[in-house]
Structure 1
């Protein structure tokens, strides 16, 4: 435990999670895009993003939790990584450099544990957060775009793709094969590891032609969030991605389709989403801090 001014910093434990949820809700209520999650959704976020409570840091004012960093652990592009699944400070305690102090408290434990880098996303336009992360040593890696549209506004024509494909539910995703279809690396929360960890309802649909998988979509039917969508390079521009999304919509309960944190450099996917009227609503910077 460490004290600076009137704040105390400590790593959290499982019994702190209920208070952590309350602080999370208070911290993000006035965010650039207000975030509203239920306790059940908060628990699912922990699982999907690999959050480890004992690596989460809390800032306490007396006995009140007023700031935090949610830390997910795993590998990122083959390197042991700590992912920032959320940093928040309740409004009345902002302006006290708590984010910087939280990282000062967290980084030694990460280094001692063999973590080699820290990863996070920050919304473009959130200059205060961007400056804080830059001052800590984070560097911008890439830009990620977020898209969303009601399913009724999507342009998904009725004609069948050519060649004709069969859409099947995958009993177990062949992620090694899928990765060869992709034009970019998915973000942390859209990775195959995160998808497999998530306790939320999830589904993978595969497009088959002559008994060969030539495309797939991995998505969450409850929320309409698409984690991954890709088609074999030799089978693009044949209507296969549209056929996959049409079936995904049939299997979903959500009123809208979402693609969160799509690599901006993947121009082919961005063009496809715009063509079927999935609207861009947000850009984030993916940032990395190397510890070794």
Structure 2
């Protein structure tokens, strides 16, 4: 019955159908995913998803599986980012993910793409094994944090540092890069932040006119894309001041910080200290096409 699948690249006009299949495929996911049609379109823009590089698996006329493909640069190489792979429940167990990638790889190579990047949830053993069998290898572990703003520990009796907080009219991303403890994940990069059509803000921290920290976030969702403080100024309350300012300017009921490099011990320790709760770990995986 399930041996008559066809595969094709999608088009812009297929996005409404793709949204319906996305919702159906992730309805029973490990982490519940609720996304509106408008947010789905914003996801396309933020993550650099190109409809004509997205692959669909069809059973008759029905779209039953897909790979959302974002295009960009990663560590200096042209890269295809898997922004989501899904198969609706009735069609799982037929190696559709592998077949989707087999269909996608030739176009990526012909287009000069040198590598593929993705994240998979720790605990999603089936997906992890599939990606390993295709040739992906783990590059690092990423932690996700969340907490209602009312439960965050942001007030303290410790003296606050003498810093000036300013909203950046024109973010200086080159200067921010020098403050990194590690590189952001794909959807938190400078390019992704700038592409996003959602409202976004960058708050900078200065000490005697020297930039020593910043936070880049989305007020509507409470999602923090980047937070960094210059080495030598850490553990002095600057990050806490930046998060406090984020809370003041966000309308979301909770703060969310996705895909923090697990090796970023300073940042992870700070997030836990202010009571952001780790709720998920993901494996970042990479595959070379060369």
Give the TM-score range, shorter chain. over 0.9
Counterpart mapping for 1:87-236 below 5 A: 87-157=85-155, 162-236=160-234
What is the DSSP-based 3-state SS (H/G/I as helix, E as strand, rest coil) of the residue aligned with 2:221? coil
- Tell me if the contact between 1:161 and 1:238 (Cα under 8 Å) persists in the aligned partners: no
Partner residue, 1:281: 279
* In 2: Cα distance, 1:166 partner to 1:100 partner: 52
State the alpha-carbon separation in 2 of the partners of residues 162 and 31 from structure 1.
42
Match of 2:53 in 1: 55
CA contact (8 A) 1:161 1:243 kept: no
Q: Secondary structure at the match of 1:15?
A: helix
CA distance in 1, matches of 2:105, 2:3: 20
Once residues 161 and 267 of structure 1 are traced to their aligned partners in structure 2, the CA distance between those partners, rounded to angstroms, is 24
What SS does the aligned partner of 1:111 have? helix
- 1:157-216 deviation digits (Å, cap 9, x = unpaired): 256865411111001111111111111110000000000000011000001111121100
Q: Which residues of structure 2 form unaligned runs of 5+? A: none
Tell me: CA distance 1:213–1:232, structure 2 relative to 1, closer, same or farther (3 Å): same
Q: Which residue of 2 aligns with 1:253?
A: 251
Partner of 1:28: 26
Q: Distance in 1 between matches of 2:26 and 2:222?
A: 22
Deviation readout 1:89-140 (Å, 9 max, x if unpaired): 0000001100000000000000000000000000000000001000000001
TM-score (ref. length: structure 1): 0.97
Count how many residue pairs are aligned between Structure 1 and Structure 2: 289
Q: Deviations over 1:206-245 (max 9, x none)?
A: 0111112110000000000000000111211111100001
Secondary structure (helix, strand or coil) at the match of 2:232 reads: helix
